[in-house]
């Protein structure tokens, strides 16, 4: 696509969702499909789970595609995303959702675990958004970027120094990118979930966790997805550089 090329404003709008094969990512894919977006589902290894989400998206009448790559691998991101954009055109939006954690008290954190968490959670901001941002700008139809951060990135959490560092870094990066892209009508916002019923808390004492939350329950993936859905709506066109918490009143 040439630097001055534009995209037909009536063309289908595609959204890339990283980590879209399960949990919050799956809920986001389905919510955005229900809003009329075609979905490119990124996943790292679980092809069967991603294919199941794609089938759910297509059941809504939207188009789904699968993009297998590790968001922490810069070369793999560039290869997959540049190729997909060349074949299918630029994205209208991106949801940076993929993330991992390796909880440990700070004195016992292994260097390789620290590096893995920062590479997957924070480096992915560059790895994913850098190849797709200029095509979004050149399309000249605005756009949306939502970055999934965390309550830990706002308030910290014992045993999650690496995770909190990566999520706090995402907030700063998103605020800066929001200022760069605002004049292009591309918004960049963060969503900060608290304790949500996903695979990341499997094995935890749910009743004990719920007692920490003013609403006395864990959140649902669909409740996080609803906020992303709003940020992708026309009603959110003047919101950028913000972080919206979804945590049942924990802050």
Determine the pLDDT at residue 2: 47
Say how far apart CA 251 and CA 50 lie, in whole Å: 33
Strand, helix or coil for residue 117? helix
Could you tell me the pLDDT band of residue 202, with boundaries at 50, 70 and 90? low
Helix axes 23-34, 221-231, angle to 10 degrees: 50
**Active-site residue set:** 163
Determine the pLDDT at residue 200: 64
Say how far apart CA 124 and CA 158 lie, in whole Å: 24
Percent of the chain beyond pLDDT 90?
88
Check whether 123 has a pLDDT greater than 80.
yes
Cα distances from 103 to residues 45, 152, 212, in angstroms, run 22, 12, 19
Could you tell me the pLDDT band of residue 211, with boundaries at 50, 70 and 90? confident
Check whether 203 has a pLDDT greater than 80.
no
The helix or strand, by DSSP H or E, that contains position 144, with its residue range, turns out to be strand 143-148
Average pLDDT, the chain: 93
Would you list the domain boundaries of the chain?
14-246
Q: Which of 68-72, 135-139, 209-213 has the lowest mean pLDDT?
A: 209-213
For domain 14-246, give its CATH number from 3.40.50.1370, 3.30.470.10, 3.40.50.720, 3.40.50.150: 3.40.50.720
Check whether 118 has a pLDDT greater than 80.
yes
pLDDT digits (tens, 9 = 90+) for 77-86: 999 999 999 9
Residue 162, Cβ density class (10 Å: 0-12 exposed, 13-18 middle, ≥19 buried): buried
């Amino acid at each position: 696509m040439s630097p001055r090329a534009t995209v037909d404003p009536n063309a289908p709008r595609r959204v890339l969702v990283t980590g879209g094969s399960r949990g919050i990512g799956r809920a986001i894919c389905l919510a955005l499909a229900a809003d009329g977006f075609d979905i490119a589902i990124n996943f790292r290894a679980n092809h069967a789970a991603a294919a199941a989400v794609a089938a759910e998206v297509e059941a809504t009448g939207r188009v789904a595609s699968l993009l297998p790559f590790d968001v922490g691998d810069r070369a793999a991101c560039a290869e997959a995303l540049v190729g997909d954009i060349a074949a299918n055109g630029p994205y209208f939006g991106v949801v940076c959702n993929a993330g991992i954690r390796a909880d440990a008290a700070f004195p016992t954190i292994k260097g390789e675990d620290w590096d893995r968490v920062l590479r997957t959670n924070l480096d992915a901001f560059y790895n994913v958004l850098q190849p797709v941002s200029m095509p979004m700008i050149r399309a000249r139809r605005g756009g949306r970027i939502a970055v999934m951060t965390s309550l830990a990135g706002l308030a910290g959490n014992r045993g999650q120094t690496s995770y909190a560092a990566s999520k706090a870094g995402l907030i700063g990066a998103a605020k800066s990118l929001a200022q760069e892209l605002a004049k292009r009508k591309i918004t960049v916002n963060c969503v900060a979930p608290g304790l949500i019923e996903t695979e990341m808390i499997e094995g935890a004492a749910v009743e004990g966790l719920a007692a920490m939350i003013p609403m006395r329950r864990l959140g649902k993936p669909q409740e996080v997805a609803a906020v992303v859905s709003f940020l992708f709506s026309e009603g959110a066109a003047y919101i950028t550089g913000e972080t919206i918490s979804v945590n049942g009143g924990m802050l």
